[in-house]
Amino acid sequence: MNEALALLREKITSRTATVGIYGLGYVGLPLALRFCEVGIKVIGFDIDDYKVDTLNAGQSYIERLTPQHIKHALAQGLEATNDFSRSSEVDALIICVPTPLNAHREPDLSFVINTIETILPHFRAGQLLSLESTTWPGTTDEELAPRLEAKGFTPGQNCALVFSPEREDPGNPDYGTHDIPKVIGGMTPICLELGQALYQHAIRTLVPVSSTRTAEMTKLLENIHRAVNIGLVNEMKIVADKMGIDIHEVIRAAATKPFGFTPYSPGPGLGGHCIPIDPFYLTWKAKEYGINTRFIELAGEINHYMPHWVVQKTADALNDHGKSVKGSRILVLGLAYKKNIDDSRESPAVEIMELLLHKGAIVDYTDPHIPTFPKKRDYNFDLKSVALTAQNIASYDCLILATDHDDFDYDMLQNQAHLIVDTRGRLQKQSNVVPA
């Protein structure tokens, strides 16, 4: 180990290293707060001035992270900045930026590439670079390592490079950032050693693997496993609906088997920044090896279809009540992609709203966790969350339960609504409730 990396290891071991977090969203900010919690100085980097200013003012833009959390981190030395030249000040650089799909459902690495290109002029020997953004196997050694080497930095010799995928689960009360075992793979054994030394301060359990590609594939397998099983149960829901069978009753009964069955819940589609997107990173990369991932792509097709299924069920339900979608006032219950959180990324509720608007409906939403419709690249709704009062509920022709937040008063909803389309199996069976 050369002198620069030996100094890095000493700083990491003594907790005097400074950590840079790039991307202060649902992944980066909790990680930044966790490092601060254990006494490690953090500089958070983001191109969004609103996030930078909000954090430096001691406020939060993520519901589960309170102003008290932010202020405590600031007292521990947290700084937020949009000045990427300060990258030279940090010892470990952790990239937590989005990896979305483009219009052709192909990987869009522009956020990762733009971040590394912005960092490189300020990179120095003796720094550790960690990518946490989910991506296709080979990204770390094919995209990041060559860029470092072109500037004279060789992983394992004068810098370190690792891949350690995020495993955040917003809204999970049992597992926080430090509780979730963390997979990590290094470009070399020395890279892995330094990466483990860093993360072990903040994460309770580390899971070292043999390479960055193994770590990248591990993250994809986790999310593909869920996507495929959700696709299966969504298809089963459609079949059961045609047969007049309650799929939720079926799942509850099947889940009593003490072995060989894992229950998955159907819904209006997939949401969040992982499960609807990550499988396509592997399908795209697999084509380079002449492999068509038919199973994964089929599950993606089924899950992508579900918002259309919900809208068709809504149209049929309205028709049974003597109304058409066009001109009907429809309230979507829940904008977040899953219950009890404020994250609406890739939420099927948003696509349901868009589809209904195209059919001429008058659409509103209500969500206790999202008071104003957030800015999105593909959707532009100038809406605020509607208050759930008995009078408001009764004023809509139809309600669609897209996200089953615990805060909703389900008794009032069922008592006051003319018609409710239930995509989550949360409501009791009665004449004004239509399962979808």
Q: What is the pLDDT along the chain (436 residues), one digit of tens a residue?
A: 799 999 999 999 999 999 999 999 999 999 999 999 999 999 999 999 999 999 999 999 999 999 999 999 999 999 999 999 999 999 999 999 999 998 888 899 999 999 999 999 999 999 999 999 999 999 999 999 999 999 999 999 999 999 999 998 877 888 889 999 999 999 999 999 999 999 999 999 999 999 999 999 999 999 999 999 999 999 999 999 999 999 999 999 999 999 999 999 999 999 988 888 999 999 999 999 999 999 999 999 999 999 999 999 999 999 999 999 999 999 999 999 999 999 999 999 999 999 999 999 999 999 999 999 998 877 879 999 999 999 999 999 999 999 999 999 999 999 999 999 999 999 988 999 999 9
Residue ranges in 58-106 assigned as alpha helix (H): 67-75
* CA–CA separation, 280 and 297 (whole Å): 8
Share in percent of the chain as helix, strand, coil (round to 5): 40, 15, 45
Quote the CA–CA distance of 77 and 75 in Å, as a whole number: 5
In whole angstroms, give the CA distance from residue 237 to residue 355.
21
pLDDT of res. 257 = 97
With tokens 């008794």, the residue in question is: 411
Give the Å distances, CA to CA, from 90 to 16, 178, 363: 11, 22, 48
Structure-token pair, residue 363: 């659409």
Give the CATH class of 249-435: alpha beta
Q: How far apart are CA 45 and CA 257, in angstroms?
A: 48
- Chain position carrying tokens 């459609």: 238
**Contact predicate 220/231, CB 8 Å:** no
Angle between helices 189-199 and 3-13 (to 10 degrees): 20
Sign of CA dihedral 88, 90, 93, 94: negative
| Structure token digits, residue 206 | 């580390």
Beta bridge partners of 384: 372
Q: To the nearest 10°, the Cα dihedral for 355, 359, 361, 362?
A: 60
* 40: DSSP letter: -
One-letter amino acid of 210: S
Dihedral over alpha carbons 85, 98, 350, 410 (to 10 degrees):
-100
CA angle 262, 267, 271 (to 5 degrees): 95
Exposed/middle/buried for residue 379 (C-beta within 10 Å: 0-12, 13-18, 19+) = middle
CA 74 to chain centre: 25
**DSSP strands (E only) in 85-202:** 92-95, 128-131, 160-163, 182-186
Assigned CATH class of 3-210 = alpha beta
3-class DSSP assignment, residue 103 = coil
Q: Where in the chain is CATH 3.40.50.720?
A: 3-210, 249-435
Rounded Cα distance between 13 and 43, Å, is: 19
Q: What residues act catalytically?
A: 274
Q: Provide the terminal-to-terminal Cα distance of the chain, rounded to the nearest Å.
A: 60
